[in-house]
Structure 1
Amino acid sequence: MRALLSVSDKTGIVDFAKGLIDLGFEIVSTGGTWRVLKDAGLEVTEISEITNFPECFEGRVKTLNPYVHGGILYRRNKPDHVEEAKKLGIEPIDLVCVNLYPFKETIERTDNFEEIIENIDIGGPTMVRSAAKNFESVIIVTDPNDYDKVLMALKENKNTLEFRRELMIKAYEHTAQYDATIANYMNERFNEGFGNKQFIVGKKVFNTRYGENPHQKGALYEFEDFYNELNILKGEPSFNNLTDINAATKIAVSLGKGSVVIVKHGNPCGAALKEDLITSWQKALAADPVSAFGGVVAVNGVVTKELAEEINKIFVEVLIAGKITQEAQEVFANKKRIKLFDLGQAELEISGDMYDFKHIEGGFVYQTADFVKDEEVLEAKQVSIVGVEDKKDLLMAYKIAALTKSNCVAYVKDGALVAIGMGMTSRVDAAKCALKKAEELGIDVKGAAMASEAFFPFRDSVDEAAKAGIKAIVEPGGSIRDDEVIEAANEHGIALYFTGVRHFLH
């Protein structure tokens, strides 16, 4: 039996080779891998002894040879293949262990295109694909984490077709991701990220309990290793839990450390940033305690026992935080339905993906990601006669509106969300709906700041705001009726600011 080892990541390769030798394998290797194994005192054959041809062109060509690929690809169960291999002097290769040149690591480290090009692997993917194609006879190993599993299967005579098929699938995933990374990088470098093809590759973290509904299957995939930091402390996350966690966490991170955000069905129903987390929680809950029941809570900080006791006074389905202390977890121990997650650190964070996409029937739409910058509000153009010195509430309202389904109008007072209307077909309906609900809950919005993620097409939303006693409004501007909106603000003595940036979220 022969094994061909050619790896860029040398982690565990010496022990793997030793294990294969102990099982009776002859080891064939290339360049750097050959030297590592040789230096470790192992008996190993250099690839040129098999190919009868030296590595050439600075290592660009070394394994692209019929003695290599013939030994991998010929079918052992076909007599004519076996006979032809003998005739050509091709010896079988029964195991191929390859991982590829570190292209991703290279583009993260340098912008030198010459170096980047030289870290595009050619022979490696070809060997992987050859071995994967002939998985009926050949074991293909692409992940150092599988070394022990492969050795165990060989030792215990569990090298089954099903086992090799599992490794074959993993191998094709490996080369597909590699090629996708290269293609996406080249389009990023030369086509502003929008080439003729777009490849979206994710690594499965875990299956969700089900999809959006119980009759659907679901799973969480990650682009990098971001979700490795997500600690599942209690409960099993569902598909909807994860999308709600994403919505709540994005707003909480945007508002800053010390904020608390409550989300229901992807939309915020409470948010606050006060002097301490307990007060932030209380003010966030006050915005809409009815909707908060069974909601998802994001705490941008550490959940202590004291905060846990406050949250535990109502039923919440999910709690995500920077950290949930052991004492806090014990507070929720008897609550069967609550799910607890944290990142094991002082505050929440998001990956900050640079691109965004959404599935539509038959394909997907793809775009650069939307980010709200503080200066959009802090440096917004004052278009009204009166202004305000403190824009904290305006900034908070604007961030919440931008991260909530359009049409959205958000009202913030003293660092807490007091009313919100979202996902409406009419902007004035969003404004009215928010104020009506606040009135029903007995919330005083007088003196609040109001934000819209897109321009007001008519003055009616400003007129409604004036009735409620709103003191300041921030919106993008850009309507053909901006003059009417400005006139309404001046009539009512409301400060009005235009940011010039729209933030639709559909």
Structure 2
Amino acid sequence: MRALLSVSDKSGIVEFAKGLEALNFEILSTGGTYKLLKDSGIKAVEVSEYTQSPQMFDGRVKTLHPKIHGGILFKRDKDADEAAKNGIEAIDLVCVNLYPFKETINKTDDFDEIIENIDIGGPTMVRSAAKNFANVMIVTDKNDYDRVLKILQSGKNELEFRKELMIKAFEHTAAYDSMIANYMNSRFNGGFGAKQFITGTKVFDTRYGENPHQKGALYEFEDFYSKNFTALKGEASFNNMTDIHGAVMLASSFGNVPAVAICKHANPCGFAIKSNVYESYIDALKCDPLSAYGGVIAINGTLDRHLAQKLHEKGTFMEVIVAANVTDEALEVFADKKKTKIFTHNSEFLKRANEQFDFKHIDGGFVYQERDFVCKSELKDAKCVTDKEATKAQIDDMLIAWQVAALTKSNCVVYVKDSMMVAIGMGMTSRVDAARAAVAKANDMGLDLNGCVLASEAFFPFRDSIDIAAKVGVKAIVQPGGSIRDDEVIKAANEANIAMYFTGKRHFLH
């Protein structure tokens, strides 16, 4: 039996080669892998010696040879005579992982270096071995080394196992080529080339999708969730993950501050930033405790025993708690809460990946865009368009309201007072309906809106929403501006002695 080992990531390769050698495999290898194996006492044969053909063009051509690909590709039950006639000997196992293209583009912008880290021989060998999986084992994942050795040792190298390795192999090369194509389009076509590839790695299956009759799973870009998402209690569902996304995006939007966000169906129903996460939770819950019941809470800090006991109180139920970190004592508090799920980022504050793109499925395809972020300068550079200017405290509240509005389904309006969201209207077909709904809910909750600020993620088309704001005592408004009736809207604000700021930037979320 013969194995060809050529890996960029050399973790575990020596132990794997020793295991193969103990099973009487002849080892072929290339370049750095060959040197490492030889230095480790393994009787490896360099590919150029095996093929009697030198490496050429600074290593660009090493394994592209009939003795290599013929040995991988020939059908053992049909092509044995032709292989023997042409001096082709079987290669029964191929272990390859590819040049570190991702690592290269992360560390340099030197295009010549980037080009040289595009693997050619590696993907070709992987695809050859995967195509002939009926006869050849293809190993592309270092986490499979021990399992492969155990299968070989047991003599149960069955087709189903090789099929599983084959699928992994094609996933490996597809993701690799997709990464290169996306990079080239990003570099030369502004990220919007003729093809767009979205690839992810499965983290776990969800119990089902949005509904019980749908399958679901979480996939990650890079290794974000593998590194930053730990289940301490319960399993995350498909809907949990979309709600967690909304809550974490909001709670982490203001940096290293003790923010708490409560979301239901991916929309905020509570938010506050106070001196600590306990106080932030108390105030976040005031906005809409009815909607918060059974929701998702994101804590930009530590879930300790004190906060856990408050969350555990009778009449309070959060289906999902995600915190930057969770103490053992806090976890014990929820031992009797079977339906409460707890997750952590294992860090001081919540983490976010902040990819630069965004996409959404539509029937027959998907729409793809640059991701929307609220720039810190948006409110700082906003233009006051009214006679009255906002106070420093009002500007601080407008900053919160503006960020919450950007992360809430359009049409939306957000009312904030003393660093706490006191009312919100979202997902309405008209902005004035959003304003009315928010005020009605605040009245139901017994919340006083007098002295609050208001943010709208898009312009007000009419003065009606301003009139509603004036009646409840709003003192400052931030919005993009840009309506053909801006003058009418500004006039309404001046009549009510409200400060109004235009940012010039819209933040629709559909």
Normalized against structure 2, the TM-score is what? 0.98
> Which residue of structure 2 lines up, in the alignment, with residue 249 of structure 1?
248
> Which residue of structure 2 lines up, in the alignment, with residue 112 of structure 1?
110
Q: Is the 8 A contact 1:454 1:502 kept in 2?
A: yes
Matched residues in 1 for 2:445 and 2:260: separation?
20
**2:500 pairs with 1:501:** no
> Which residue of structure 2 lines up, in the alignment, with residue 190 of structure 1?
188
**2:10 pairs with 1:10:** yes
Structure 1 consecutive aligned stretches of length 4 or more whose deviation exceeds 4 Å: none
> Which residue of structure 2 lines up, in the alignment, with residue 126 of structure 1?
124
Q: Is the 8 A contact 1:378 1:395 kept in 2?
A: no
Aligned partner letter, 1:98:
V
> Which residue of structure 1 lines up, in the alignment, with residue 204 of structure 2?
206
> Which residue of structure 2 lines up, in the alignment, with residue 330 of structure 1?
332
> Which residue of structure 2 lines up, in the alignment, with residue 364 of structure 1?
366
Q: Within 5 A, what are the aligned runs for 1:451-466?
A: 451-466=455-470
Matched residues in 2 for 1:169 and 1:357: separation?
26
Aligned partner letter, 1:307:
L
Matched residues in 1 for 2:231 and 2:506: separation?
36
> Which residue of structure 2 lines up, in the alignment, with residue 31 of structure 1?
31
Matched residues in 2 for 1:20 and 1:221: separation?
33
Q: Within 5 A, what are the aligned runs for 1:36-435?
A: 36-78=36-78, 81-228=79-226, 229-256=228-255, 257-313=257-313, 314-390=316-392, 391-435=395-439
> Which residue of structure 2 lines up, in the alignment, with residue 436 of structure 1?
440
SS of match in other structure, 2:318: coil
| 25-34 vs 353-362, greater mean Cα deviation | 25-34
Matched residues in 1 for 2:348 and 2:117: separation?
38
Matched residues in 2 for 1:36 and 1:434: separation?
66
Q: State the 1:154 CA deviation.
A: 0.3
Same amino acid, percent of matched pairs: 64
Matched residues in 2 for 1:276 and 1:178: separation?
44
Matched residues in 1 for 2:119 and 2:470: separation?
65
- Root-mean-square deviation (CA), in Å? 0.8
SS of match in other structure, 1:269: strand
Q: Which string of whole-angstrom CA distances, capped at 9 and with x for unpartnered residues, describes residues 270-324 of structure 1?
A: 1010112111111111111111110100111101101111111201100000011
SS of match in other structure, 2:348: coil
Normalized against structure 1, the TM-score is what? 0.99
Q: Which string of whole-angstrom CA distances, capped at 9 and with x for unpartnered residues, describes residues 376-409 of structure 1?
A: 1122100000011211111101111110000000
| 276-285 vs 85-94, greater mean Cα deviation | 276-285
Aligned partner letter, 1:275:
S
> Which residue of structure 2 lines up, in the alignment, with residue 474 of structure 1?
478
Q: Which 5+ residue runs of structure 1 have no aligned equivalent? A: none
Q: State the 1:374 CA deviation.
A: 2.4
Q: Which string of whole-angstrom CA distances, capped at 9 and with x for unpartnered residues, describes residues 70-120 of structure 1?
A: 100000122xx1110011110000000111111111000110000000010
Aligned partner letter, 1:267:
N
> Which residue of structure 1 lines up, in the alignment, with residue 22 of structure 2?
22
Matched residues in 2 for 1:500 and 1:260: separation?
28
Q: State the 1:30 CA deviation.
A: 1.2
Matched residues in 1 for 2:443 and 2:16: separation?
69
Q: State the 1:255 CA deviation.
A: 3.3
Q: State the 1:345 CA deviation.
A: 1.4
Q: State the 1:29 CA deviation.
A: 1.0
Matched residues in 1 for 2:52 and 2:82: separation?
19
